[in-house]
Amino acid sequence: MRVEPIVVSESKEAIEKVVKISRVAKVTKGGKKLSFSALVVVGNTKGRVGVSLGKANEVADAIRKGISQAKKNMMTVPLQGTSIPHEVVGEFSSARVLLKPAVEGTGIIASGPVRAVCEAAGIKDILTKCITSNNPMNVIMATLSGLKSINRDLEIYSLRQQAMLQKTEKEDVDH
């Protein structure tokens, strides 16, 4: 089954996409109680993206809840031009997603859930591969995990650069 995100709204400040809607039936003594869950991705296309799972008795309410929660859970994604700075593998549960920077003009080569996250974050050129799982929730969380690790890698890189500068300055003073 192929998952295609539904664009709920696309305004200047945010893109809101519904990746998956699930109907959940709870069986009780009185019968089946139906409810819905909506997996939603929200982003400003300038490096900020958020994901949430909204649950309610009606589809519209589940989507609305998911969007408001995703806006609260937004994170910053480091962009280098129209792509990401370096290759990274994100992991969550059994899902692993490979994210590779691409040359400008390549486009987003990705599955539905990963594409939704990349478009919402503002990434225009990227190569991706879902390695183990195809569960949309796990794939999205693995993608976010990979994007978060880019932040950590860049922080470590900048700290190393500062340490190298301090070391060379100290050596220059000693000589």
DSSP 77-97: ---BTTB-SS-EEEEETTEEE
| Per-domain boundaries in the chain | 6-174
Can you tell me the mean pLDDT for 12-21? Answer: 88
Provide the pLDDT confidence category of residue 10 given band limits of 50, 70 and 90. Answer: low
User: What is the number of alpha carbons within 13 Å of residue 59 lying toward its C-beta?
Assistant: 6
Round to whole Å and give the CA distance between 20 and 18.
Answer: 6
**Taking CA 124 as the corner, what is the angle to CA 148 and CA 156, rounded to the nearest 5 degrees?**
30
Would you say residue 150 has pLDDT above 80?
Answer: yes
The span from the CA of 9 to the CA of 28, in Å, is 36
* Cα–Cα distance measured from residue 170 to residue 69, given in angstroms and rounded to the nearest whole number: 49
Q: Assign domain 6-174 one CATH number from 3.40.50.9100, 1.10.1200.10, 3.30.230.10, 3.40.190.10.
A: 3.30.230.10
Please state, in angstroms and rounded to a whole number, the distance separating the CA atoms of residues 58 and 144: 28
Average pLDDT, the chain: 90
Place of tokens 């982003």: 43
pLDDT at 4 over 90: no
β-partners of residue 34 are 25
Give the confidence band of 34 by pLDDT, cuts at 50, 70, 90. Answer: very high
Is pTM beyond 0.95 here?
A: no
d(CA 65, CA 53): 8
Average pLDDT for 16-38: 95
Model pLDDT for residues 66-125, shown as the tens digit of each residue: 999 999 999 999 898 999 988 999 999 999 999 999 999 999 999 999 999 999 999 999
What is the radius of gyration, based on Cα positions, of the chain? 20
8 Å CB contact between 100 and 123: no
pLDDT, mean of residues 145-155: 85
